[in-house]
A and B are shown apart, each in its own frame.
Chain A
Amino acid sequence: MMEEAREGSLSVSAQTIRVTEAVRDGDALTFIVISQKLSGSGEYHVARTHEDFQWLQQCLFSQEVVPGILGVIFPPLPAKPQLNAPAKVLKQLGFLAMGEDWRMYCMALETYLQQVAAHTTLSKNKCLENFLTSSEPPGRQRVRKGIFNRLSQAMEGMRKEGHKDVDDFFQTERDNNLTLTGCSKSATERFIDVVLTEQKLAVACGHFSTALHLCVEQEEDSAVLAFSNGSVPMIKNYRPLHALICVKLSEVIDSIKRNFESVAENNLSTLGLGLDLESRCQEAEKEMLYRRTCKLVELETASRNAERAKPVKKAAMDELKVAAEKEFDHVSGVAKQEIARFHSTHVELLRQALILWCEKQLETARDTSFRYSQHLQAFKGLGE
């Protein structure tokens, strides 16, 4: 506990942490992390790579001194962004690979750092302070394979995921989590499809608009201009009118394009990001529950061993069993708190995303509607 005391609390305010941009450097991305000092004014500006983030995550995982650390739902760190990666790899990143200049990814990292900084236990880790404030990149040499090797987890998971829980609370939570993980994942995927189609539509509209504009040859442009200014009394010549219709329609299609662009953008930056985070958080909870299940299995094995143990080994086995019991209780205790916290934050998170989304879409819809009605008026007055 000495260490914990020494680490103390974070010197920056969690809410102010920003990941402002991703700077491309060769094949790697460097993220600019900005945070405000708690004491006085001033900001920390640090440049971090994804490896630095991974290091931070590892540090958080491996705080063996904290009892029941395995019961913590670690904020999910987005997977490593791949530059020049094939589309298939990018697709795994989902929403995070979308948007311009990795903006979505930056936002996800930002959320991650804020969650870590806001976490009562995790924020006390010295590594976080280091990560946020030190101008030098934190030691990358410490990155090592932890207990959370994804491959082994997947293999063991097959065996242990279905393990019957002793506690009904956890059993229900595990069942719920399983369905929610699946649902949120599929919802995210469906939503990605929607956004992708919207983007495609925007592109198609762009082509259409350009093609329409190209229909009007250069020399006709001036005629159109003259006509729309009313300087040419063009009553019966339909060629310029036709050209004007083309130009105007091109503008209409351009409005449609812009509408799709902003709708897609709204989808991305609000609900898309929210759903992505939701599904990753569910995944994180699942991992925590899995770790607890592993402990449960350990404990059960220990108690079985203790029961069957020959008198000679009985004492040692009992000791092991007690230790396992203690650890399991710690983990379960922390897990219960974490789950309660997780539930409220997850609701709040989706609520925020939904409200923001709705408001933005409403705004876009109103703007677009206004623009359409302007176009409509313009067309009604055309050639009259």
Chain B
Amino acid sequence: MDPSLSASDIASSTKPLSEASSPPVMDLLSEPASEASSAPMVDLLMEPASEGSSAPMVDILSEPASEASSAPMLDLFMEPASEASSGPMMNLLMEPASDDLKEPPKPDIDPLADILNDTPLSEVKTPVAAMPQETPSDLFDDEPSELFAEPRQSNTAKQQQTSIFDEPDEDLFSEPLGEASKKPQNDFFKEALAPVAKASNVCGPLSDNYNEHPTDIFTEEAMTTLPSAVSTVSVNSKTNGVHSDEEEPDIFAEATVELSLDSPRNDRKKKEAAKPSASAPAPSVSASASKPQPKTLEELEEEVEDKFELNISITNPEKVGDGMNAYMAYKVSTQTTLPMFRSKTFTVRRRFSDFLGLYEKLSDKHTPNGYIVPPPPEKSIMGMTKVKVGKEDNSSAEFVERRRAALERYLQRVVFHPSLLQDPDVREFLERDDMPRAHNTQALSGAGFLKMINRATDSLSKMTIKMNESDVWFEEKLQEVEAEDQQLRKLHIMVDSLVGHRKELSVNTGGFAKSVAMLGSSEDNTALSRALSQLAEVEDKMEQLHQEQAASDSFCFAELLADYIRLLGSVRASFDQRMKTWQRWQDAQNMLQKKRETEAKLLWANKPDKLQQAKDDITEWEAKVTQYERDFDRVSATVRKEVLRFEKEKACDFKKQIIKYLESLLQSQQQLIKYWEAFLPEAKAIA
């Protein structure tokens, strides 16, 4: 460790770099952590990892702390949080950091770490004095937060610079991962670079929307962490995750060269060219990264959004059984080119409770991580009872159709969610022929479901008061979401009344048609009589038209609004989740504080026998605080990403539905014109 020397040397040269760094980097960095563990739940895996290897880290961390009466140490630790208050992404950075901790600091990291850590120091007014002495892990923690804070403030960053900067970061983080498995450095290097370069490229122009891209990367990653992840996808994620410390020399060697690069491809080539100069021992991760298939960020996004070949339709609602045990079964047909499925087209039969069961499973798994899990339509005892009783009237047919459409939209929302699509339960739901019966869906259905959401919102609002929101974005978003919920409810009522009036109009038009027909039949004048009966026919058709329009109003708007009212419930739940993890973190911090006070008392009282226990406690709780904070940051990032995704989907959805609605309006209007045009000569023919 020769931090002071190398740091001072390089500090000046790295400074501009740090300014150029852009947010996407962060995400990329964070990925490796989850990647390496390749667990379904990043959380769970991470924990053992950090705990298992916690010894060195803890020692490093705690030692200076205890020596310096623990205060500065805490500060350093807290720093990132406060620094990055503007960006929830911090956590991402923290993860890699923990990985690093697993590993005893290597000599070749050190200079880099120093460089990196130096930059923040000079940039931001952190407690500089403490920093140099700190262990690499601390440096790391600090530095990421720096990166995050930086790009936000200055979006003028140059992408080339960014990319340079990215790489070192990744390397640092990946190094620990590298231990897991060894790999030809070339491949992984290539892969690692491409996305990064792209990412930086992409984010350049769109500095405002930097969230988008990281988001996608993250999504991809998330998928791959699932056990069910398909190899092709995982390759991509791996590429992101794979990093080496090779870059280190590159940064310095190529700093000037990189600046002139603009296309990611060039970038990559150069990188490759530069690679030989990289240090030989390149421990890399991912055994599965052998496929050299570097997908750029843009490509990844496209793949998710455009090339996404997955069509799901629900058809043939069919009543199964009799009496009160009867239920509706729906045919769920999937058509896909995704390799994760066994075949290109397949069909299964599912009943309503299966859909609820799917939601329950997904919600259990993904809601705690801050994901917005699309909720299924509510159970309707009224509607279903009618169907069960076997009344084959209009309203029950309408109910079935309405539910079929709602289920279809629900399922489509699930599979269009890149993370949820990767869930084995989703695949099972779509593919498996003999689905085990879902149990206890009752609690989730109908009023109970609504109540649950309401309760969640209530507790949420209570917690909001307590929570000293560190991020304005969340505060504003939550308010937006709540305001929107109110608005949608209001709109829903209005659309309902509109639909009611349309139906009334249809009925009245029908009545008018009948009375005109009567009038026509009792009229003496043959021409007038004829015209009147024609008119009656026209009005009959109009009745039909109004009825269709009412259905269209109802399907396009009322259902859409109902969907989004439900979805907003899920959005709130994800905010709620974030709040919970925050609460847990805060509690842990309080606990840590108490433990420290105990230690201080023991020290003062000079009771060495209990001191060790107290120290152990502190170590344990420090780890927990770190863990919980990381959790919170991760959930925050997920929520943020999910909300943005939700807003995007919502805008697209509304646009799509409104276009559909307008088309139906236009069509019925044109039909109307035809009717009138046909009737006009009849009226004129009256002699």
Contact = CB atoms under 8 A, between A and B. Distances in A.
B266 interface: no
B450 interface: no
Contacts of A376: 659, 662-663, 666
B669 A204 contact: no
Interface string A184-208: 1011011101100110110011011
A207 B497 CA distance: 10
Contact of B519 (A187, A208, A248, A249): A187
Interface stretch (A51-59, A116-124, A347-355): A347-355
Contact of A197 (B211, B505, B531): B505
Contact of B683 (A176, A358, A369): A358
A237 interface: yes
Interface in B625-684: 644, 647-648, 650-651, 654-655, 658-659, 661-663, 665-666, 669-670, 672-673, 676-677, 679-680, 683-684
B669 A382 contact: no
Interface string A231-255: 0000111110110010011001000
A347 B528 contact: yes
Contact of B515 (A179, A186, A383): A186
B662 to A, nearest CB: 4
A373 interface: yes
Contacts of B484: 215
Given A238-B647, A242-B647, A358 B676 contact: yes
Contacts of B511: 190, 193
Interface string B487-518: 10011001101100110110011011011101
A197 B504 contact: yes
Given A190-B511, A239-B647, A211 B658 contact: no
B657 to A, nearest CB: 10
Interface residues of A, number: 59
A239 B484 CA distance: 11
Contact of B518 (A186, A194, A372): A186
A198 B209 contact: no
B306 interface: no
B618 interface: no
B686 A354 contact: yes
A380 B659 CA distance: 7
Contacts of B644: 238
A185 B511 CA distance: 13
Contacts of B665: 256, 372
Contact of B501 (A201, A347, A361): A201
Interface in B512-569: 512, 514-516, 518-519, 522-525, 527-528, 531, 535
A212 B508 contact: no
A210 to B, nearest CB: 9
Contacts of B67: none
Interface string A136-167: 00000000000000000000000000000000
B208 interface: yes
Contacts of B683: 351, 354-355, 357-358
B686 A208 contact: no
A343 to B, nearest CB: 7
B518 A176 contact: no
B206 interface: yes
Contacts of B655: 245, 379, 382-383
Contacts of B495: 208
Contacts of B670: 369
Contacts of B110: none
A246 to B, nearest CB: 8
A370 to B, nearest CB: 9
Given A211-B490, A238-B650, A372 B662 contact: yes
A208 B490 CA distance: 9
A355 B680 contact: yes
B518 A215 contact: no
B504 A176 contact: no
Contact of A215 (B487, B509, B527, B535): B487
Nearest to B684: A355
B257 to A, nearest CB: 30
B489 to A, nearest CB: 11
B298 interface: no
Nearest to B677: A362
B482 interface: no
Contacts of B686: 347, 350-351, 354
A184 B665 CA distance: 32
A366 interface: yes
A351 B681 CA distance: 11
A179 to B, nearest CB: 4
A369 B659 CA distance: 14
Nearest to A348: B686
Contacts of A183: 515, 518-519, 522
A365 B538 CA distance: 15
Contacts of A380: 659
B636 to A, nearest CB: 19
Most A CB atoms within 10 A — which of B480, B531, B662?
B662
Nearest to B496: A204
A187 B677 CA distance: 23
A375 interface: yes
Given A190-B515, A201-B505, A242-B647, A208 B494 contact: yes
Interface string A211-235: 1101100000000000000000001
Interface string A40-52: 0000000000000
Nearest to B666: A372
Given A197-B504, A212-B491, A379-B659, A354 B531 contact: yes
Interface in B191-247: 206, 208-209, 211-212
B505 A365 contact: no
Interface in A314-333: none
Contacts of A30: none
A180 interface: yes
B505 A198 contact: yes
A239 B647 CA distance: 7
Contacts of B523: 180
Contacts of A187: 512, 515-516, 518-519
Nearest to A368: B669
B208 A249 contact: no
A343 B651 contact: no
Contact of B491 (A211, A357, A366): A211
A41 B508 CA distance: 48
A365 B669 contact: yes
A179 B673 CA distance: 33
A369 B680 contact: no
Given A201-B501, A355-B684, A350 B528 contact: yes
Nearest to B523: A180
A359 interface: yes
Contact of A362 (B509, B524, B673): B673
A194 B88 CA distance: 57
B494 A211 contact: yes
30 contacts: A187-B512, A187-B516, A190-B515, A193-B508, A193-B511, A201-B502, A201-B505, A204-B497, A205-B498, A207-B494, A208-B495, A236-B209, A238-B648, A242-B654, A245-B658, A248-B658, A252-B662, A350-B686, A351-B528, A351-B684, A354-B686, A358-B683, A362-B673, A365-B676, A372-B666, A372-B669, A373-B666, A376-B659, A376-B662, A383-B651
Q: For the complex of A and B, list the 4 residue pairs with the smallest distance between their C-beta atoms, beginning with the closest.
A: A236-B209, A190-B512, A354-B683, A351-B686
Given A236-B206, A357-B683, 19 more contacts: A187-B515, A190-B512, A190-B514, A190-B516, A197-B508, A208-B494, A215-B487, A215-B491, A236-B212, A242-B650, A252-B661, A347-B686, A351-B531, A351-B686, A365-B669, A369-B673, A372-B669, A376-B666, A379-B658
Interface of A: 176, 179-180, 183-184, 186-187, 189-191, 193-194, 197-198, 200-201, 204-205, 207-208, 211-212, 214-215, 235-239, 241-242, 245, 248-249, 252, 256, 343, 347, 350-351, 354-355, 357-359, 361-362, 365-366, 368-369, 372-373, 375-376, 379-380, 382-383
